[in-house]
Each structure stands twice: as structure tokens, then as C-alpha cells.
Structure 1
Amino acid sequence: MVNQRSRPSVTTPSGKCLDQRWQIAPAQEEQAVAIAQAANLSPLLAQVLLNRGVSTPEQAQIFLHPESEALTSPLEDFDDLPLSLELLINAINQRQKIAICGDYDADGMTSTALLLRALRTLGAQVDYAIPSRMSEGYGINQRIIEEFYDEGVGLILTVDNGIAAHQPIARARELGLAVIITDHHDIPPTLPDANAILNPKLIPETSPYRGVAGVGVAYILAIALAQSLGKTHELGNSLLELFTLGTIADLAPLTGVNRRWVRQGLQLLPQSKLAGVQALIQVTGLSGAKQMKPEAIGFRLGPRINAVGRLADPQIVIELLTTDDDGVALERAMQCEQINKQRQQLCEQIEQEAIAIVEAAIQQSGHLEAPFAAPTDGRVLVVVQPDWHHGVIGIVASRLVERYGVPVFIGTYEDKERTHIRGSARSIPEFNVFDALQFCKDLLGKFGGHRAAGGFSLDAANLEPLRSRLQTFAHQCLQPEHLKPLVVIDAQAGLDQLNLSLYAQIDALHPCGIENPDPVFWSANVRISEQKRIGKGHIKLVVSQDGELPGTIHKFTAIAWRWGDYYPLPSHLDLAYRLRTNDWNGEISLELELIGVRKPAAIAADIAFWHDDRAYNVDVFQHKAGKQLRIRNAQGNELTIQQGQKMGALSKQLSEPTPVNVCQPHYYNLIKAALRALEEA
């Protein structure tokens, strides 16, 4: 059970509206105390573990030390793994050509590089192909099958694709080629006629291997093959590094073996033995880092790998991750850097154009739902425009989901005649993209994906029927309250509870990511002391909160990424945030990364009153040290008084609050008038 709390949306002085829904995990104080004592953690962090399904001290120890848990053999869980090993061993022994068909995203490219390295080390004759994103789209196709056959290939390995490729696989079998599918995408109603299929969606949900991405399946296959050949030591740790890169970049859940192996891989990456990884670390400015965290891959290394697959030739990344030549590695890493800059520019341009389209529709209709619907109200945003690069529209779709809180299907025309559309979809938790695409399959060409994301193509003539069908599907699974950006929160904290010691304990929860996110805390009725726009659409703030002791104020710097449109924020808000550190000139300080805001919950509503011929407003908030009275005048100045205290705080607009003695006649009479107004309301 979770606590769903709704508050009035936050309308900023600029007139922009931040309308979110907060999902706050219920506090479990007794269990949290037991886990905190057993694991030597803050009760706040113990509550986070409870929210992750860790409910006993024993489970907490395994979570904090995942390497201590005994793993079952993947041979027990993947039914086709023994046959896959047999096919590969026979191909190696008979000097039969093996070909890998990969995908052009980070998962597919790291999977391809991983198996190339492993199979070559183990004595295989192996090459690869990746379909063109621009002209062919996702997955193995008949052209690739025919080319493999002409080149004398006897065994095909798909990585991060193939589970829905019925016709290409059937053609390969007709030609006498053996096929092993390694994939992690959702299972279609019928499976392709491959010799063997390795997909974690086919194994028990209780398996520790259930959440692996495509690169995880490739890693399991490579390690099992090396063990079968008695050559595990020859592979070294390089495969684990590639597994870590691909798993984090693909947003795979950091649970089960993913959490265990990524934790190990992150320790290896700063001193990577792979020339390409070291070159990538160098061009992204991460050289010299003593440790690597998932966000370094998610926001620095991963995007540079993904950008190549989106805009250029994936061969650049394959060479980067398979070469042992430092010069070639640096050259390829520099190419990744330049391509990523191009990707950033395209994303910014398309995002702004998409927002303009949606906002214009909102302006025209006067309410939010209209642009998501055709012809009646709906619950899905579908935006299709010509001349957008379909290599980056998936990123834009994610940003639109973050902004509007609804499933987003975004597409672009592939030809000048505008007869064919290719698109990407991103979703919210209550809407399954793959199921939605299945629901519309008669209107689509190719499609695939999973719960949170997918890709699709269709004839332009089917666009309006697709809109209507998606809305029908959305009405089956979405309620109006779902149509706001979701902020998932672990626990309430006062700003006085935040310190570097707490941050150090959060390190024990790493690696954090999908299904094991960074802890999110919230604090009530926080004062926005300072704020300014920085960079490309961000807000930097100073936030503060009164402490329990009279006159004490706890203050932090905060950053709100891509919230420039909402500047300036109101002077008092409930804040939801993650903790981050800032290392400036060797001095480490704690910062807040804002992910949500809402109006503070007033015990007494905002009441207007007059005193000495001047207009004021008063409200009362619950502070952990007692009730807090807040009085504001027309100029934006605020007087805050804690129950039972003689000293209050006077804030003039966004200036730093100053202590005042509320026993002085002016303040005393003002407070009496405010209390009288509350009583009479």
C-alpha cells in the first residue's frame, strides 16, 4: 500500500503550472528501527530498504552485501542454454562461421562487443552485422539473413533482438542456418522457429536472472561457454565491464544478479583494461575518478554510446569496445563525443517544437486533455511531425512524459510524400506500451518493446485510427488521477536530518537505478530563500527550514534540472528531492536535486485580514516542533512564528530571514489580529 496524496497544483508567479502527484510510502517505524539497529543504518535508510521489499534484518544484510548470496546456475533456469552451448561448441570445433546480429542501442552494441570479444578469445570465427536505424529499423531482417548465408555463415546469434522476428528466422532455417536468439524483450504470442531461445522473460519470475538486459543474456552465455571449454580465466574481467555499461545504459532493473554484477563492474571501470572504455572515460572528463556510480554511465558514458546508434554507424562503438589499440580507441571515443553533441542539439530542437505543438493545442482548447485526443478527450499524447530525426525522438518522448505525465507516442515521416511513419513510445507505470502496441497491431507494420518503452511503424493513413485505438486502450487502464507526472517518495525528512553521514550510508544502497532508485525524501514547508536561472533552463536555489531550537536555520543549495519554465518558484513549498554532493576546490558539500514540489498543507486555510489599515494573509502549518504561524503582507514580506517561541523570522521577498522578537508591540498586535482572523474564519 502507498499513500497517494494530492494537493492543489503549484502555480508559479510566472503563471506556469507544476501539477504532480506524489506517492509517499507509508512509514513503518517499528520495522525501520529494527532494521536500522541490525544494519547500523539511519532509520531513514531503513525505511528506504522496507520500501524496496527488504523486510527483515537478514534480507537487509543480503541487500547491503549481495555477493554473500549463493546463486543458482543459469543452466537450471534457461532451458535452452545447454543446447545453445552445444551449438556454439560444435561451431568452434568445426571452424564454422558464426555471425552476430546486434541492435543499434547501447544494450545491443555492448552485447555485440561482449560476444565478439568472448567468442574470438575462445577460438571462434565470428563477425557481426547491425541493421541500419535509418533505412531498416530495429531487429534482424531478411537482407542480413541472406548476406550471412552468402558469406558461408553456419550459426547466427541475435543479441538484444529477434524474439519477434518470425519471418527472418524462418528464412534462416529454410537456408539451413542454425539460430540462437538472445533477447530480453517481451514475449509475443508465438515464438520464432529458432534452434534455441534465451530470454529472461521465459524463466521463473523468482530467478535472480529474471531482470537481465540483452547484455546480461550475452554475458551469461559467454561465461557459461567459457566454463564449458575450461577457459574462464582467459576472458578476464573485460566482459563484466561491458555488462555494466550495457545494463545501466539500457535502464535494466538493478535487482538480482544485475545489482550484484553491476556493483562489481563499477569497481573495475575506473581502472578498465579496455582501451575503448579508458578513452571514453578520458573524453567525458571522468579520468582520475576513484569510483564510478551508475549516474556516471547513465549521464556521461551511456549517452555517448547511444548517440552513435541513434545518428551514425554503430561500427564506431563496436570498434571502440573491441580494439586493443589506444590510438584507435581515442579516435573512436572522440567521434562518440562529437556525435553526442549533435544528438543534444537535435533533442533540444525537437523537444521545444513538440512542446510548442502541445502548448498551442492546450491554449486553443483551454484545457490540458485536448491535445492528447482526437476527436474526443483522451489519455495518450500522440505527436507526429515531418523532418524530425527518428534516432532521437525516443529521448524527446521521455522528456514529454516527464513534463506532462501521460504516455507519449511520438513519430516522424520517413519519406517526403509522408506516407510512412516511424515512432517511439514512452510510458507511465499504469500503461503498458507493449500491450498497447499489441492492441493496435493490425494498424502497425513492425513494432516491439516492453512495458515502459517501444518502437513502431505504420502507414500514415492509419495515424488517426491509431490515435483512436490508443485512447480506447488508455481508457481501459488509466484513470484521470494517473495523468500527472508521478513523484515516488520514500520518507519525510527535516532538513536538519540531512548530512554527509546520511549520504555516506546511501552509498551502501548502491548501485541505484531502475527498481532500486536513489532514495527520495521530502521536507514540509521549506522556504525558498534564493533562486536564479542557470545554464540551459535550470534553476539553482537556496532553501532553508527552521530547526527545532529557537533561532536555528538549516540551509542547503538545491538544483532543479529543466525547470526554467517554472521560474520563479513560490516562496514556501513542500520539496521532494534526492541527495547529491558537490566537490568544489576539494570541499565536499551536500546539495538537493529537486524532483517535485507541491503547496504546503495548511492546518488552517489562507485567511485574509486587515490590521492598521493594511491587508495581510495568515495560515498555519504543522512543523515537527509544533504549529507554525505565517503572516504575509501585500509586498510579499513574511513573518513566521513557531508555537511557544518568543523569536520569529522575518523574510522580505527572497532575502535571508532575520530573527525578530515577536513580543514587541508591533508584532504582538499583528499576531493577535491574525489569530482573531483565524478564529472567526
Structure 2
Amino acid sequence: MIQRTIRRRECQIGEGWPDSVPPLLRRIYAARGAHDPQQAQPRLANLLPPDSLGGLAQATALLADAIARDRHIVVVGDFDCDGATACAVGVRGLRMLGAAHVSYAVPNRIVHGYGLSPALVDELAALRPDLLVTVDHGIACHAGIAAAMARGWQVLVTDHHLPGDRLPPADAIVNPNLRGDAFPSKMLAGVGVIFYVLLALRRHLRVTGALAGCEPDLTALLDLVAVGTVADLVPLDANNRAFVAAGLRRLRAGQGCAGLHALIEVSGREAPRLTAADIGYALAPRINAAGRLEDMALGIECLLTDDARQARELATVLHGINAERQGLQQNMVDDAEALLAKAGISDEILPSALCLFDPEWHPGVVGLVASKLKERTHRPTVAFAPAEPGSGLLRGSARSIPGFHIRDALAAVDAAHPGLIEKFGGHAMAAGLALSLDALPAFASAFRAHAEAMLDAALLQSVLLSDGELVATDFNRATAEALRDGGPWGQAYPEPLFDGEFDVLSWRIVGERHLKLEVACGTLRLNAIHFGGWHNQPPPPRLRLAYRLAPDDYRGGQAIQLIVEHGEAL
């Protein structure tokens, strides 16, 4: 395993905290840059207003005209969880605002490739749309948008991905990451962008009198906004935390759409205690699985239905697809590690970046393989698979480490080697691309060379940031629940992590890869679980652990446990 270093966070706790916030939480919030309750746990009242988000005037005019003239609006989603939730928000929200003729479409990963492509436009012709609304994509779909407009359709792009050198020829574009856009937060997920469009549309319809005194409550969509925001791993700045917290409150209260509650049930979670981590590890993978192995329309239908029975049936199907995805993913990760070993790459000899390909891999799962290898090696990783069996076109997914902007890295390779990459797009930490099989060796060489030029030894060192030690009186259920409920925690606002020295009293292997421990700190005896922690060697008698403190709901009562992220011998 790659060596990891535990480093403690520094913070300075400010004044003005109410007595209801425990000192431990104040320290944790301050270490994340939140110095008062409003910053620590922002509410919907603290949401940024939509006024400064560019393109809203044109977007709301298009939508209001389409609603008034009973035009056919087709919301075009994407095949990941952000795209699916954004599609469901778009369809539900437009119907709530008076659109009588709304449908949706979503590309099939294998058949159409990414986004609004000319091939998808050809299929959409049967629907006879008047206005296409892209969600979570569109900013890079030049050919597809041109094809749609050539048919006489209007196109509204709502996206959050970084734009290229030129913008597509759409009628309107809403994207906080456009150059010069004044919206203060650039962190919105695709589902957040379409939600803001709906807020602006509601205001437009209110001003023009089109709502006729019947104004819909768009907060009913925030369960979907929360799921898409967490799933897409966008940084949880204050604005996104307000979204996620509001969505979690709805789900915990038994509100929200039938599909999400069915997914909570099949994944074995409990709605009253749902967390952002449950979204990321339980709900989102089941929605994503449809787009990876089957058709994301299954996931979108689950999010759109109001029939509890149908929702359970669809959630059960998604649960089964996810189980298949898990098995396929593990096989592909095993293949990837074998490829590294065959190439002589080990934890002691690691290049600055990894580029992997197997002709038998599934294009819907390569992103998960890249993510697993990135986590294990702490190196930017790109994994490729044939776009379809036997194809000479490869689809790749890239995952990165802090300090290395993966989308900018692909742009640099593309600029230095024009024509090598057929298309690409993404974020700082994740991106996708397509290239020919013949171009793979040249791409791998160029990508590694760029990484070597940009990454120094410090960035290649895996660092775990700890919130320090817990004292003996912190190891209790009340503290564990306060930490769980003190979020939402997530990307760039991480769940509290602590470190300390422990004696190992006993251990056993669970599920082939996991390590179950009983540890002692002074007179305290504590249960601990280290997922993926078995490496074919017994743990040493004394360990320094980096861990999270969590309620042990399996044991119930006042039980707690340590969720170990890292252990090192003392």
C-alpha cells in the first residue's frame, strides 16, 4: 500500500458560538473555515440569489414562451446520478410551473456516447420536440446542438462543466463556470444549475402573472438536488451544504420522492438517520448502476414515479444491477492491479500518473476502476475500455489527486498534441475522454510527461488530515451522533477524522478483505472496523489509527465503533 502521513489540522476557534454547539464541533467547524453557526450549517435562507447567474434572462424567456404556447419541452439528461437527478428535477419542476407537454430523453452510454450527440438528436426526432433542455451536459456538445438547431428546435443548455475555447450555438446557456459569469459559487452540480433555472423561471412567471396566484413550492425538489450534489462529488461549499442539508431533512422526515425512499429501503438504510455518506455510498451507486450497465432511463423513471409500488419495483431492479456492477468492478480492479504488476509498477516504484487499458473492460465501470487505483496509489489515473466490444474507439475516465487539475491536464495534452484526443471534458478531480486505440500509447506518454512536469514530491505524498485526538469522555454515543449530524459532510468539507494510539486486543477477518478489531486506549475498550484493511498480515500489537467515531447501529443501544481509515505500527 502507498505510504500515508497523518497531519493534524490547524484552527482558531472564534467567538459567538451558542452553548448548544459542543466545543469539539466548534473546533471541527473552525478547521474547515466555518467560524459561526451560519457558516457551519447554512440554511436555505442563506442560499445565494440567482440574480448574478448568467443566461437566466434568456433561459427563462425560452421556457416561459414554451409553456405559454404549449410547446413540447424535452429535458435531455445524462447517464450519471447528477444527470439523472437533474433530469428528474427539470421534468418535475417544469410540470409544477405549468408546462403541460414535458418529456425526457437520456443517451445510452454504449449507443450514443456522452451528451447530446448527433446520433441522439436523430432518435429524438420521433418525439418532435420544440425545445431541448440539456441538464448536466451540453457545454461541449457542439455537433449535437448544431444538429438539433438545424432541425428547427430551440436549445437551452444548463451545465456546470468547464467550457472549452468556444461555446456551442445554443439559444441560451446557463453555466456558473462560463468565463466572466458573476455567480459567486462555481461549485454547483448540474442538478443545482437546473434548480436555479427553475427558481428564476418561477420568479419570471410570478412577475408576468402567469402563475395566477398558484405558486408551486420548489423546495419539494430538494431531496433530488441533495442526492445529485453529493453524488457528483462537487465541493460542499456553503451553498451546496444548504442544498444537501435541506434535502436530508426532507428525506429524514419521510418526505421526498417515492423512488428515493424505495432506494433507501433496498439499500438497508433508515430514513430518519440518513446522512450524506449514505447518499454517496448507498443511493447514488444504485442510480449510477443503471447508466453504467443498462439504461439510465430506469433510474430516471424511479425518480419520477409517484407510485410507491412501482418505485419499489424499479429500486429492486437498480439494486440488482448495482450488485452486478460491484462484481464486475472488483474483477476489473483485480485486472488493473495485475497490469501494474506485469509492468513492474509497485508501491515502491510508482510513476507520476497511471494510464490503464484492457480490451475486455466495460466502459461504464472504468471510472470506478480509475477511482480505486487513484485511492490506492495516490496518483492521477486514467482507465480506458473499448466504446463497445471490439471497437477501435476508446472511452476513458480520469480521476485525480489534490493539486492536479485533471481537466486542465487533458486540455494541456490536447493543446500540445492536436488531434490526439477526440473529445474530453470534466472537472478538477474527474474527467472523461475519447480517443482511438492507435492513439493510446502516445496519449499515455504525453499524459505521464505532463504529470511529471506538474507534480512534485509533496503532492505525490498521501496525507490524511486529522482533527486531532479525542479524550476519554468523547467516546460515547452522544458525541458520535453529534458528529454524524453536524454536517452534511462531503467533498471539501470532510467528515471529522481523528487519530490516536491504541493497543490491539483482538482481531479477525470479515468478508475476506476487512479487519474487525477490538482496541484499547487506556482503560477504554472499543470496537473498530477497517474496511479493506486485511493485507495478509496480522496487525501489530500497537497501532496509531486515523479513524471516524460513529454510532454502531448494528449493535444498537449506546454502542459506538471506530471506522478506521488508516493504521500504522508503533
Name the TM-score, length of structure 1 as normaliser. Answer: 0.77
Match of 1:425 in 2: 398
Q: Decide whether aligned partners of structure 1 residues 484 and 495 sit closer, same or farther in structure 2, where only a CA change above 3 A counts.
A: farther
Deviation at 1:103, TM superposition (A): 0.3
Name the structure 1 match of 2:250: 268
> How has the CA–CA distance of structure 1 residues 87 and 273 changed in structure 2, closer, same or farther, with 3 Å as cutoff?
same
Alignment partner of 1:487 is 2:470: no
**Could you tell me which amino acid in structure 2 is paired with residue 403 of structure 1?**
R
For residues 132 and 493 of structure 2, the distance between their equivalents in structure 1, rounded to whole angstroms, comes to 35
CA deviation after TM superposition for structure 1 residue 426, in Å: 0.8
Distance in 1, Cα, partners of 2:72 & 2:539: 62
1:340-398 deviations in Å (ceiling 9; x for gaps): 11011111111112112223434xx67733xx5xxxxx311111111111111211211
Q: Pairwise mapping of residues 446-461 of structure 1 onto structure 2 (< 5 A)?
A: 446-461=423-438
Q: Give CA-to-partner distance per residue, 1:518-543, whole Å, 9 cap, x none.
A: 011111x3222222110141111112
Partners of 1:292 and 1:195 in 2: how far apart? Answer: 40
Give CA-to-partner distance per residue, 1:34-67, whole Å, 9 cap, x none. Answer: 549655544443332222112xxxx412124422
Is this contact kept in 2: 1:350–1:396, CA < 8 A?
Answer: yes
Contact 2:54-2:181 at 8 Å conserved across structures = no
Determine which structure has the larger strand proportion and give its number.
1
Give the corresponding residue for 2:529: 559
Work out which of the two has the higher radius of gyration on C-alpha atoms and give 1 or 2: 1
The answer on 1:292 being equivalent to 2:265 is no
8 Å CA contact 1:253, 1:515 repeated in 2 = yes
Aligned-partner Cα distance in 1 for 2:71–2:6: 57
Deviation at 1:563, TM superposition (A): 1.7
Contact 1:39–1:60 (CA<8 Å) still a contact in 2?
Answer: no
- Find the aligned partners of 1:100 and 1:39 in 2 and give their Cα distance: 47
Q: Which runs of 5+ in 2 are unaligned?
A: none
Matching residue of 2:234: 252
* Separation in structure 1 between the aligned mates of residue 389 and residue 272 of structure 2, nearest angstrom: 51
Whether 2:78 is the aligned partner of 1:79: answer no
Counterpart CA distance in 2 for 1:366 and 1:329 is 46
Per-residue displacement from partner, 1:583-634 (whole Å, max 9, x unpaired)?
245413221111123344xxxxxxxxxxxxxxxxxxxxxxxxxxxxxxxxxx
Q: Secondary structure at the match of 1:483?
A: coil
Matched, 1:114 2:89: yes
What SS class does the counterpart of residue 306 from structure 2 fall into? Answer: coil
Alignment equivalent of 1:511, drawn from 488, 500, 518: 488
Q: 2:121 aligns with which of 136, 145, 161?
A: 145
Alignment match, 2:136: 160
Alignment-mate amino acid for residue 147 of structure 2: R
**Worse-matched range after superposition: 324-333 or 453-462:** 324-333
- Choose which of 382, 387, 406 in structure 2 pairs with 1:409: 382
Is the contact between residue 411 and residue 424 of structure 1 (CA under 8 Å) also seen in structure 2? yes
- In structure 2, what is the equivalent of residue 596 of structure 1? 566
Change over 3 Å in CA distance of 1:278–1:501 after alignment to 2: closer
1:434 aligns with 2:407: yes
Q: Give the 3 Å change call, closer, same or farther, for CA 50–586 of structure 1 in structure 2.
A: closer
Q: CA deviation at 1:206?
A: 8.4
Provide the aligned length of Structure 1 versus Structure 2.
558
Quote how far apart the aligned CAs of 1:489 are.
2.0
Structure 1 residues 401 and 586, CA, compared in 2 at 3 Å: closer, same or farther?
same
Counterpart residue number, 1:63: 39
Cα deviation 1:536-590 (Å, max 9, x = unaligned):
41111112222xxxxxx22211111112225422222221111111024541322
1:400 aligns with 2:373: yes
Shift of 1:236: 5.5
Q: Secondary structure at the match of 2:131?
A: strand
Q: Which runs of 4+ in 1 moved over 6 A?
A: 203-206
TM-superposition CA deviations, 1:142-185 (whole Å, max 9, x none): 12234445643221111000111122223333333221111111
Structure 1 residues 564 and 431: alpha-carbon distance in aligned structure 2, compared to 1, 3 A threshold: same
CA RMSD of aligned residues (A): 2.4
Residue deviations 1:63-98 (CA, integer Å, cap 9, x gap): 244228544420x21121111001100011111211
Which structure has more relative contact order (CA 8 Å, sep 6+)? It is 2
Aligned partners of 1:495 and 1:555 also within 8 Å: no
Whether the 8 Å CA contact 2:290–2:318 is kept in 1: the answer is: yes
User: What are the equivalent positions in structure 2 for 1:275-424 lying under 5 Å apart?
Assistant: 275-287=258-270, 289-362=271-344, 368-369=348-349, 378-414=351-387, 417=390, 419-424=392-397
Aligned residue in 1 for 2:79: 104
Residues 35 and 326 of structure 1: CA distance in aligned 2, closer, same or farther (over 3 Å) = same
Q: After superposing the two structures, state which structure 1 stretch, 474-483 or 133-142, moved more.
A: 474-483
Counterpart CA distance in 1 for 2:184 and 2:475 is 34
2:544 matches 1:574: yes
Corresponding letter in the other structure for 2:363: H
Residue 79 of structure 2 contacts residue 291 of structure 2 at CA under 8 Å; is this kept in 1?
Answer: yes
How far the C-alpha of 1:435 sits from its partner, in A, is 0.9
Deviations 1:270-324 (A, max 9, x none): 413522223222222235x423211221111111111111111111112111122
CA distance 1:68–1:148, shift in 2 (3 Å) = closer
Alignment partners' CA distance in 1, 2:273 and 2:541: 38
**CA separation of 1:475 and 1:382: change in aligned 2, threshold 3 A:** same
Deviation at 1:417, TM superposition (A): 4.8
Take 1:346 and 1:135, find their aligned partners in 2: how far apart are those partners? Answer: 20
In structure 2, what is the Cα distance between the partners aligned to 1:573 and 1:213?
39
User: What is the alpha-carbon distance in structure 2 between the residues aligned to residue 481 and residue 88 of structure 1?
Assistant: 49
Amino acid at match of 1:501: A
What are the within-5 Å matches in structure 2 for residues 203-218 of structure 1?
207=183, 209-218=185-194
Q: What is residue 8 of structure 2 aligned with on the other side?
A: 24
Does 1:196 pair with 2:172?
Answer: yes
Structure 1 481/261 Cα, relative in aligned 2: closer, same or farther at 3 Å? closer
1:564 counterpart SS class? coil
After the TM superposition, which of the residue ranges 290-299 and 159-168 deviates more from structure 2? Answer: 290-299
Q: CA 1:471/1:530 → structure 2, altered by over 3 Å: closer, same or farther? A: same
- The answer to whether the Cα contact below 8 Å between 1:62 and 1:68 also exists between their aligned partners in 2 is no
State the 1:219 CA deviation: 1.2
- The 3 A distance-change label for structure 1 pair 599 and 195 is same
Q: Is the 8 A contact 2:2 2:347 kept in 1?
A: no
Does the aligned pair in 2 maintain the 1:160–1:185 contact within 8 Å? yes
1:96/1:579 CA distance change after superposition, 3 Å: same
Deviation at 1:215, TM superposition (A): 0.5
Letter in 2 for 1:280: L
- Residue number in structure 2 paired with 1:640: none
Give SS of 2:114's match. coil
Q: SS of the residue aligned with 1:528?
A: strand
Partner of 1:45: 25
Distance, in Å, in 2 between the alignment partners of 1:495 and 1:361 is 48
Given the superposition, is the C-alpha separation of residues 71 and 426 from structure 1 closer, same or farther in structure 2, using an over 3 Å criterion?
closer
Given the two structures, how large is their TM-score scaled by the length of structure 2?
0.91
State whether residues 539 and 561 of structure 1, in contact with CA within 8 Å, keep that contact through their aligned partners in structure 2.
Answer: yes
> Residues 637-675 of structure 1, C-alpha deviation per residue, up to 9 Å, x if partnerless?
xxxxxxxxxxxxxxxxxxxxxxxxxxxxxxxxxxxxxxx
Structure 2 Cα separation of the partners of residues 366 and 304 of structure 1: 33
Q: Distance in 2 between matches of 1:506 and 1:267?
A: 16
1:210, distance to aligned residue in structure 2 (A): 2.9
- 1:477 aligned residue: 454
Alignment of 1:222-261 (within 5 A): 222-230=198-206, 231=211, 233-235=215-217, 237-261=219-243
Structure 2: how far apart are the matches of 1:208 and 1:505?
A: 30
